[in-house]
Chain A
């Protein structure tokens, strides 16, 4: 059984990716906690308001600044945590306002953007800003030097690739050459100049205006001319982001579930990831149901199937006192779970056949409760890191992982294709 122990040990940044509703946030938090238990200084950057988790860590409402979990929280639970664990959450609301505030070259430009009528009513609908913020935050944490393990939980969008494309998209969005097309006709030169410069552009503008509303382009134009001042800052940042996401010290962990829905999306997703030169480093299957070995004497077919309920009931009846629990329900439920488990196993095997055999592949069992507290996170450790891994003392010496830092484009080498 493979584990992701080496993966987490050898990387500075672990990015948890996958479709929604598969337990990414919980997995990210569990990995972060393990890192802290191994003596590392860890921060987990989440996008989900997992309130009960935040409550149980005693960090209250997570916000835009990392909040460190008080060592007393671990002491109370009888845990030895030689490292440290901090958590932060990115707020979706006002992501663009914060971007503008951070990158506007001057107070005046900032005010001009924030006051633009177009910006005010539409900034809530701009795509990519939130994703950009998350990756930028990742870079800031990386550069701060305050952490030697950063775990990033990515947004549960169906098109999770949006997340990694966001920096590029925003950069394109603010690209000078494009912005000039929008800005020029209305600013210094006016319509006729634009027409003289490029008849087609002028023609197209008029057509698009007719189609979209007369004042629309003027508004957009003003908006872009204000935004264009931010381009340099963006372009520089996106380069850093691009390098960090592809650095050899960054690992991508795919979190998924064994259901058709999750797997269909996950296959699509891992293909896109490869196309973008960000290869997967491990796969975690969450909430996997366990198939028990069927006693060949009882089940000659080797598996438990529908129709075996009566047989199971007989075994239960002769086993002794079961506190009066309805044995018919017990038997039916068992068959149900075994059918489910078998379907999951088949799908996981099929999924795995499309991936490299060397890729660590971990299954986390379906627990009888949802995992939203520290004990639950520790409960995942044996599945993720192998039995006893959490208790193993860390090696002496530096807690810094061997991988080199890669915070600039030059030192961040391309990941070798796997």
Chain B
């Protein structure tokens, strides 16, 4: 299975996966890869979280796009703020806009109108993709760090649902435009992330089926994170010889632990390969006291050949 040609030429990369598998790491990795090609990258998280800002050494809540590194800007996309911004375009008179968004009714409307916030969140990605800075687009690429699987699929399903639910009008028109972007394989690519373990793999296989089926979204590369590799099987690691110092026993214990995880990973990688028809990039488990941007760069180095960018 080869990487889609010119994988990194896409404009929107949506990184999805189960909670805790390393979506933020992969999103950061893609942003670095794109920035290294001279692109202006927007790295957007769809839920307020602190992992990405922390990785890039930014403190506190993210407001608008803030440049974290040359070429990489970070922002949080939030439904309510996006709706307010959107209404600012539709209701250009400042006073009217303010009256609307500060009213109690509006807040109940936003809280209550089902799906509106989700639609606005996805809509904001479209808006950023379209946004121009003079003659050229504001961003050459947008990497989206999506929330955990179930939530992500809700967001991605939203434009279709809104287009069906709402009568002809602005909302439907907007929803259709967003849908067009999400399904356009020349512009958008979805990258699932998983670890090679039971639960994440189960969830990945289910998500994969939905992305391919109902959602009809273009899939790019599956990232398998934290892969352990060992030259021996766990049960082939011998007991320490008699009278060996304690250190030898400790060393063999760690070897058994690593070999155990390596065999679990190998088993679930095989399961993934049985079903998943998109290219897979394996990212090794990194042993480090702390996981920071340097570790993301190391992972990027190992991933590039798999991305066809060696």
A contact residues vs B (CB 8 Å cutoff): 19-22, 25, 48-52, 92, 117-118, 120-127, 155-159, 169, 172-173, 178, 181-182, 200-201, 204-205, 207-208, 210-216, 219-220, 223-224, 257, 259-262, 264-265, 268, 289-290, 292, 295, 298, 312, 315-316, 319-323, 325-326, 329-331, 333-334, 336-340, 342-343, 346, 366-370, 372
Contact = CB atoms under 8 A, between A and B. Distances in A.
Q: Chain B contact residues (Cβ within 8 angstroms of A): what range?
A: 35 or more
B124 interface: no
Residue from the set B47, B200, B245, B250 with the largest chain A CB neighbour count within 10 Å: B250
B150 to A, nearest CB: 6
Given A118-B114, A157-B147, 7 more contacts: A21-B20, A50-B198, A211-B87, A211-B90, A212-B166, A216-B166, A334-B255
Contacts of A257: 20
B112 A265 contact: no
Nearest to A174: B112
B275 interface: no
Given A122-B165, A125-B115, A264-B51, A213 B248 contact: no
B161 A122 contact: yes
B257 A366 contact: yes
Interface stretch (B35-43, B101-109, B215-223, B296-304): B101-109
Contacts of B209: none
B214 to A, nearest CB: 10
Pairs A-B, 7 closest by C-beta atoms: A20-B19, A21-B20, A213-B169, A215-B167, A368-B260, A343-B289, A320-B241
A137 B299 CA distance: 43
B236 A323 contact: yes
Contacts of B132: none
Contact of B244 (A117, A320, A331, A369): A320
Interface string B173-185: 0000000000000
A333 B254 contact: yes
Contact of B118 (A49, A125, A181, A343): A125
7 contacts: A92-B150, A118-B114, A122-B114, A157-B19, A213-B166, A319-B244, A333-B251
Contacts of A292: 246-247, 250
Contacts of B186: none
Contacts of B69: none
Contacts of B245: 295, 315, 319
A329 B231 contact: yes
Given A211-B91, A316-B248, A19 B19 contact: yes
Given A323-B238, A337-B258, A295 B171 contact: no
A336 B18 contact: no
A21 B225 CA distance: 13
Residue from the set B100, B256, B259 with the largest chain A CB neighbour count within 10 Å: B100
Contact of B106 (A208, A368, A370): A208
A308 to B, nearest CB: 10
A329 B169 CA distance: 64
A191 B169 CA distance: 20
Interface stretch (B5-13, B133-141, B151-159): B151-159
A213 B19 contact: no
Contacts of B248: 315-316, 319
Contacts of B90: 210-211
A398 B173 CA distance: 65
Contacts of A298: 247
Nearest to B268: A370
A261 B18 CA distance: 13
A172 B110 CA distance: 12
Contact of B247 (A214, A289, A315): A315
Nearest to A294: B247
Given A319-B245, A337-B257, A208 B100 contact: yes
B270 interface: no
Nearest to B46: A158
Contacts of B112: 172-173, 178, 182, 220, 224
B290 interface: yes
Contacts of B114: 118, 122-123, 125-126, 223
A334 to B, nearest CB: 4
A259 B115 CA distance: 33
Nearest to A159: B47
Nearest to A209: B169
Contact of A316 (B54, B115, B151, B251): B251
A215 B169 contact: yes
A216 B169 contact: yes
A181 B105 contact: yes
A261 B247 contact: no
Contacts of A127: 154
Nearest to B107: A178
B113 A158 contact: no
B165 A117 contact: yes
Nearest to A218: B167
B294 interface: no
Contacts of A207: 91, 96, 100
